[in-house]
Amino acid sequence: MNLAVEIENLTFFYPDGNKALDGVSFVIPERSKTVILGHNGAGKSTLLLHLNGLYTASKGRVKIFGKVINEENIREIRKKVGLVFQDPDDQLFASTIFDDVAFGPQNLELDKKEILRRVEEALKAVDMWDLRERPPHHLSLGQKKRAAIAGVLAMEPDIVVLDEPMAYLDPRGQEEITAILNRLNNEGKTVIVSTHDLDWALEWADYVVVLNAGRVVAEGDKSILTNRQLLEQNGLKAPLLVKLFEDFEGKLGIPTSLKEARQILRKFIF
């Protein structure tokens, strides 16, 4: 298994002395769809901000494709790891969406033609090309989130990290973002998402990391999401499918997707 990310004994203190991460170690497989789960304040955002070097470990280290992030390689790392913030207003600042998405490639000092190619491709990938002349503050939240993703895609990263991309979106907005994430993963990118929506995680993810109070409490394939006791002990709500099927455990087993649930029921009923 090739690894996109390796985190070794990462501890992080905020300037006020608050220890937000406490000896965190885990890996993220390359080309995986990974979810980072944890209740409010578990340390998800703090952790994600380490993945492209925006935060620096107080202790321990973060490796991207086998290389420890340090001052010398930070520019290279930022090309490889794109981070989409939870609040798109923290990310969008230019007077038009086009300029916003062009900002990253311009900083790479690419030629004009290449910048245009990247901006067009990124905006089309999130279905925002037609809105490119709009100022960010004239967009809906779903559109802002897609524009923020385009800004990251224009850097052509191998790893895309998104902090709670579904937060405050309606079902259609969530479906649009999920489709974008799936497409990126199908293109070979590693996609890492923090969330507390375990129903969504059960459908989408193939790798799971659970945090609580700045520590890793579980890591592995998505069978973790069928462990109701572990999830609830760590302040999370087990997926609805898991709650439903555990009543029949022994007879039916516990599915790890809606598709599997249908198969189990079909076999049992017919």
Ligand X SMILES: Nc1ncnc2c1ncn2[C@@H]1O[C@H](COP(=O)(O)OP(=O)(O)OP(=O)(O)O)[C@@H](O)[C@H]1O
Residues binding ligand X (CB under 6 A): 14, 16, 18, 20, 38, 40-46
Nearer to ligand X, 42 or 261 (CB): 42
Nearer to ligand X, 45 or 96 (CB): 45
- 268, burial (CB in 10 Å: exposed 0-12, middle 13-18, buried 19+): exposed
Rounded least distance, CB 14 to ligand X, Å: 3
- Give the contacts of 210 (CB within 8 A, at least 6 positions apart): 37, 38, 216, 217, 218, 219, 224, 230, 231, 234, 236
- 16, burial (CB in 10 Å: exposed 0-12, middle 13-18, buried 19+): exposed
Count the residues in the chain: 270
- Give the contacts of 207 (CB within 8 A, at least 6 positions apart): 28, 29, 32, 33, 34, 35, 220, 221, 222
Helical axes 141-153 vs 112-125, angle rounded to 10°? 140
Nearer to ligand X, 2 or 40 (CB): 40
Rounded least distance, CB 50 to ligand X, Å: 10
Nearer to ligand X, 235 or 253 (CB): 235
Residue in the structure block whose two tokens are 């491709």: 121
Rounded least distance, CB 16 to ligand X, Å: 5
Q: With beta carbons less than 8 A apart as the criterion, state whether 20 and 43 touch.
A: yes
Nearer to ligand X, 29 or 235 (CB): 235
Rounded least distance, CB 43 to ligand X, Å: 4
Amino acid residing at 115: I
Nearer to ligand X, 38 or 255 (CB): 38
Rounded least distance, CB 161 to ligand X, Å: 13
C-alpha 146/C-alpha 123 separation (Å) is 8
Rounded least distance, CB 233 to ligand X, Å: 16
